[in-house]
Chain A
Amino acid sequence: MYNSRRLALYHYWVAFAVFLPAVMLGAWQMLMRSPLPAPLDDPNAYYASVTLHGTAMAYVVTTFFAMGFGYAVTATSLGRPIRGIIAAWIGFVICLTGTLMAVAAVLSGKASVLYTFYPPLLGSGWYYSGATLLIGGSMIWVVLMIVNMAAWKRDNPGKPVPLAMFAITATAVLWAWSASGVELEMVGVVLPRVFGLTVQMDPGLARTLFSVTLHSIVYFWLMPAYIAFYTLVPQAAGGRLYSDTMGRLTFIMFLLFATPVGIHHLFADPEIGAGFKFVQSFLTFLVALPTLLTVFSICASLEIAGRHRGGKGLLGWIPALPWDEPMILAVGLSLVMLGFGGGGGLINMAYDMNSMIHNTSWIPAHFHLIFGGAIVIMYFAIAYEMWPRITGKPLCSKRLARWQLWLWFVGMFVTTIPWHITGLMGQPRRVAIFDYSDPLLAPMAPLVVISVIGAFILLLSAILLITILVRSQLGDSVLQAPLRYALAVNPPVKVPSALNGFALWNTILLMFMIVEYGYPIGQFFILKSSVPAYEVTRHSTAAGVQ
């Protein structure tokens, strides 16, 4: 792991240290929404908690995890030390500072604006500055990924970049495109108002800019899981990757189609014309392509491994797979959750069906199943795979790890399936208190109670995760096999330059962004639809509605 060992470990630990309390907040929020009595029964605390849970999970855990994973992948896949290690540590410190600023602001109760910010809501400047620093600091990581890949290509002319490195650089480039939206929103709309340079804010402009981030950030979260699908899963299964080219195409397609589709989060926004809503809805369906490609090539890779291990017949290769390996178990569970979550996603992205579930609890149910479930379970598997390599100490118990993964899987379904159903029944999201004695809401009550049970299963699983990681780290050092990435059935000898870099695809993406976002963003400079800000800092958080 060369010089990336400590760097990766620190990033992972920040991610998981934030993860556990954020899961606790989530479980409490579910309890708060339910008919059951919840401790600290205060709606203001609920909104602060939603803000903190969202900020922690969407920005902190994922960014730190992706950065740590990126550094580990760079060193191991290129087989040489990382360049710019000092810059990497500076980035780590900036991101950590930003995180602490944002967390402190939310805990003080003066930034309950939800992690999607929602101007004209206006919270504490510390929160926005912290979020800007965290996201801005991660741009150092983006640059380092690109620099390391470019340097390797310079030193190895004509050779194909290893798929893992190609994919993590695609992730970095995607994150740079994605983060541009929220950074522009912060710098252009929110921070000027925070610092008193402007009097009003334009919520339409802010939301449109944020929509650039809002969907592609999901793919930034998802990419580490997909990198594991392509480069770690076939190896853990004892087989080979079905196709290296398919992997490259998948990551290129994610880069192209993840960003110019964010307006499907704005289907109910009046400023955006119906034409753009349709066009971006249309493009959103194209994101299914790389996912279907991945499901196909991962199943093919697993079949290769299963048959190699002696599996016979049409489906005999499935039981022949090493299901006791956490990585293989995780990919199986992940694909099931991806199937259900993806099906729900098709409804969200459809321009007409979306209105049925707009702003209902269907939405959090969907993204918890697909992100909290399908993707985060792969984060666990990656951690179990990486931990022994980083610390030099073996995983304390594979059996406990399997228990943890199963609990997460079951907990996520028990939480999200009733949550989807209450969404269809019309339960709004982001509401702290429901009067379940109302005949309209009464039928939802038992479903919400089931979700609460699921939330506590998830909490149990998260506690188990931290226990496994801590116990492993406190164990004895044993010589570990180095991290190996899966070889392709036909290892690439020479790949076209287009599949070995991102210049072409960045140019095409730039054109997509101009065509898809030029008018929707530009129109606000003519519309001038700014409104006065609504300051949440002025409202006391102590006086709860009891």
Chain B
Amino acid sequence: MARDQGAFKLDHPWSRIGWISFAVIIFASYLLGFVLLSRYRQNDEALDIWSAICRGLGIAFDSGPAASARPPLHTPTTIAWTQATLNQIHAGDAQHGGFVALNCAACHEGSAANPAHLIPTLDGMEPEVIFKQLADYRSGKRSWGVMNAIAKALSIQDSADVGAYFASRTGQLLPNSGERVPQGGRGFWQSDTGARLVFAGDPKRGIAPCSACHGPGGYKVGAPTLAGQYPAYIERQLASFAQGIRHNDIYEQMRAIARQLTPDEMQAVAAFYGSQGRQLAAKN
């Protein structure tokens, strides 16, 4: 193959075709890739040519350390689901909790102080949920009316006890059955928006099915059961998560999901869960 020297001379036609094609391909693709396309990015202003070339090369000039100070670290909660925490919760004394819960009954049980049902019903709620929310109220990670003051008045042991008390009661909340077998009508083709979001979510928008954590079906520690909860309360909480008013969800998963929901969808999901528990209560 050492006999192809002629091929290197530019007056040789194939050599000319080869090198000109090379130059045209490289020039055109670099012009498009580095000078033109790298200038633009969705929701960003167009860059000057030098910055565009840097972006094209992968030099992250616009994502380096910012000149301003870093925003303070914000932790959504002080609770971590360690074995020690869970042991503490499960050691709660329901009898003493009943005494503590006399403080709760006025708002959470009677309807006189709760005409719009913006206060959740707690009978049948998981003890972990009540423990965590009280801890978040105590540390100011969640704010709502008198709850912060009440939580500060309770000891950590009181929180575990009151959680055990509410968990031991039966009310309109649907108990966690832990049942994982899917039933019919739980797919994407569901016409009811609420049921579709609850059982299938919306993967295109990154919305996980609510039921994966809140039941029916799947349960995650710290996520409250929702079947039978007041729709108005659920809807208000979704709106608060969406607007960032409430921000005590570990890993921001509720904020991320709620931001994606339209007001109609929040209402549909809330209505769906609201209808679940009452149906069961009626059957019983």
CB distance from B23 to the nearest CB of A (A): 9
Interface residue A121 (Cβ < 8 Å from any Cβ of B): no
Q: A512 CA to B201 CA in the complex, in Å?
A: 47
Interface residue ranges, B against A (CB under 8 Å): 1-8, 12-15, 18-19, 22, 25-26, 28-30, 32-34, 37-38, 53, 55-59, 180-182, 186-188, 199-201, 203, 209
* Residues from chain B with Cβ under 8 Å of A443 in the complex: 187-188
Contact yes or no, B55 A274, CB < 8 A: yes
**A275 and B22 contact, Cβ closer than 8 Å, known pairs A439-B187, A504-B4:** no
Contact assessment for A276 and B14 in the assembled complex, using a CB-CB cutoff below 8 Å: no
Q: Which chain A residues border B8 with CB–CB below 8 Å?
A: 503-504, 507
Q: Is the CB of A273 within 8 A of B15?
A: no
Binary interface encoding of chain A residues 269-299 relative to chain B, with 1 for a CB under 8 A from any of its CBs, else 0: 0011111111100110010000000000000
Nearest opposing residue in chain B for A502, CB measure: B1
Q: A439-B182, A515-B26 are in contact. Are A497 and B53 (CB under 8 A)?
A: no
11 CB-based A-B contacts, threshold 8 Å:
A277-B33, A279-B29, A282-B29, A282-B32, A282-B33, A283-B25, A498-B15, A503-B5, A504-B7, A504-B14, A507-B8
Instruction: Tell me, in angstroms, the Cα distance from A414 to B265 when the chains sit together.
Output: 40
Please choose the segment from A58-66, A145-153, A230-238 that sits at the chain B interface, where 4 or more of its residues have CB less than 8 A away. Answer: A145-153
Q: Inside 8 A of B58's CB, which chain A residues have their CB?
A: 271-276, 523
| Per-residue B-contact encoding for A477-507, CB less than 8 Å = 1, 0 else | 0000000000000000000111111111101
7 A-B pairs closest in CB distance: A275-B56, A273-B58, A498-B14, A278-B33, A504-B7, A503-B4, A282-B29
A276 B7 Cβ-Cβ under 8 A: no
A503–B6 Cα gap in the complex (Å)? 10
A470 contacts chain B at the CB level, 8 A cutoff: no
Q: Cβ of A273 and Cβ of B6 under 8 Å apart?
A: no
| B33 in contact with A275 (CB, 8 Å) | yes
Bound CA–CA A521/B60 (angstroms)? 17
New contact pairs (18) apart from A273-B38, A282-B33, A496-B14, CB-CB < 8 Å? A150-B2, A273-B59, A275-B30, A277-B33, A278-B32, A278-B33, A279-B29, A437-B180, A439-B187, A440-B203, A443-B188, A497-B7, A498-B6, A498-B12, A503-B8, A504-B18, A508-B18, A511-B22
Contact across chains for A496 and B13 when beta carbons are under 8 A apart:
yes
| A428 at interface, CB cutoff 8 A | no
Instruction: State whether A440 touches B201 (Cβ < 8 A).
Output: yes
- Complex Cα distance A153/B5, Å? 14
Set of chain A residues within 8 Å of B7, measured between Cβ atoms? 497-498, 501, 503-504
**Is B14 a contact of A275 with CB atoms below 8 Å?**
no
Q: Which residues of B contact A437 (CB under 8 A)?
A: 180-182
Interface size on A, residues (CB 8 A): 42
Interface centre among A438, A443, A515 (most CB of B within 10 A): A438
Contacting residues, chain A, for B180 (C-beta < 8 A):
437
- How many angstroms between the C-alpha atoms of A500 and B12 in the bound complex? 14
Q: Which residue of B lies closest to A523 (CB)?
A: B58
Partner of B4, one of A273, A498, A515: A498
Q: Does A433 make an interface contact (CB < 8 A)?
A: no
Interface check A40, CB cutoff 8 A: no
Report chain A residues within 8 Å CB of B13.
Answer: 496
Q: Point out the residues of chain B lying under 8 angstroms from A276, CB to CB.
A: 33, 56-58
Question: Which residue of chain A lies nearest to B183 when distances are taken between CB atoms in the complex?
Answer: A439
Contacting residue for A499 out of B14, B25, B56, CB 8 A: B14
Complex: chain A residue closest to B30, CB-CB: A279
Complex alpha-carbon distance, A412 and B87, angstroms = 55
B13 CB, min distance to chain A CBs, angstroms: 7
Bound form: Cα–Cα A276–B53 in Å: 10
Per the bound structure, the CA–CA distance linking A272 and B180 in Å amounts to 43
- In the complex, which residues of chain B have a beta carbon less than 8 angstroms from the beta carbon of A502? 1, 4
A426 within 8 A of partner (CB): yes
Measured CB to CB, the closest approach of chain A to B121, in angstroms, equals 28
Q: Nearest Cβ distance between residue B209 and chain A, in whole angstroms?
A: 7
User: Whole-angstrom distance between the alpha carbons of A503 and B15 in the complex?
Assistant: 10
A395-417 at interface with B (beta carbon < 8 Å): none
- Bound: A494/B123 CA distance, A: 94
Q: How far is the CA of A501 from the CA of B188 in the complex (A)?
A: 59
CB distance from A167 to the nearest CB of B (A): 15
Residues of chain A within 8 A of B28, CB atoms compared: 282
Tell me how far the C-beta of B208 lies from the nearest C-beta in chain A, rounded to whole angstroms.
9
Question: From residue A244, how far is it (CB to closest CB) to chain B in Å?
Answer: 15
CB–CB B200/A439 < 8 A: yes
Q: In the complex, A154→B55 CA distance in Å?
A: 51
CB-CB under 8 A from B12, the residues of chain A are 496-498
Please, what's the 1-or-0 string for A343-356, where 1 marks a CB less than 8 Å from any CB in chain B? Answer: 00000000000000
Known: A153-B1, A442-B187, A504-B7. A283 touches B29 (CB 8 A): yes
Q: Are B29 and A505 in contact (CB under 8 A)?
A: no
Q: What CA separation (Å) do A394 and B201 show in the bound complex?
A: 61
Q: Are the C-beta atoms of B29 and A442 separated by less than 8 Å?
A: no
What CA separation (Å) do A277 and B34 show in the bound complex?
Answer: 10
Interface string of A61-92 (1 = CB under 8 A from B): 00000000000000000000000000000000
Whether B199 pairs with A439 at a CB distance below 8 angstroms is yes
Contacts of B30 on A, CB cut-off 8 Å? 275, 279
Residues of B within 8 A of A500 (CB): 4
Q: A279-B30, A498-B12, A505-B18 are in contact. Are A273 and B182 (CB under 8 A)?
A: no
Q: Which of A423-479 contact B (CB under 8 A)?
A: 426, 437-440, 442-443
Q: Which residue of B lies closest to A436 (CB)?
A: B182
Q: Are B1 and A519 neighbours in the complex by a CB distance under 8 Å?
A: no
Q: Are B37 and A274 in contact (CB-based, < 8 A)?
A: yes
Closest Cβ of chain A: how far from B82's Cβ, in Å?
Answer: 24
Q: Which of B6, B19, B29, B201 contacts A278 (CB 8 A)?
A: B29
Chain A min CB distance to B210 (Å): 12
Once bound together, how far apart are the Cα atoms of A511 and B5, in whole Å? 18
- Interface centre among B7, B13, B203, by most chain A C-beta atoms within 10 angstroms, is B7
User: Do A275 and B34 contact each other (CB < 8 Å), given the known contacts A438-B182, A440-B203?
Assistant: yes
Q: Which residue of B lies closest to A157 (CB)?
A: B3
Q: Which of A502, A503, A508, A512 has the most C-beta atoms of chain B within 10 angstroms of its own C-beta?
A: A503
A512 contact from B15, B22, B57, Cβ within 8 A: B22
**What is the CA–CA distance of A328 and B203 in the complex, to the nearest angstrom?**
46
Chain A min CB distance to B233 (Å): 26
CA distance A150 to B3 in the complex (A): 9
Residue numbers in B under 8 Å from A146 (CB-CB): 1
Chain B nearest Cβ from A508, distance in angstroms: 5
For B3, B4, B26, B181, the residue with the greatest tally of chain A CB atoms inside 10 Å of its CB is B4
- Chain B residues lying within 8 Å of A503, measured Cβ to Cβ, are 1-2, 4-5, 7-8
Q: How far is the CB of A513 from chain B (nearest CB, A)?
A: 12
Q: Digitize A134-153: 1 where CB-to-B-CB distance is under 8 Å, 0 elsewhere.
A: 00000000000010011001
In the complex, what residue of chain A is closest to B22 when comparing beta carbons? A508
A271-B13 Cα distance, complex, nearest whole Å: 40
Q: How far is the CA of A498 from the CA of B7 in the complex (A)?
A: 6
Complex CA distance for A282 and B29, rounded to whole angstroms: 6
Residues from chain A with Cβ under 8 Å of B38 in the complex: 273-275, 278
Docked pose: A443 CA to B182 CA in angstroms? 12
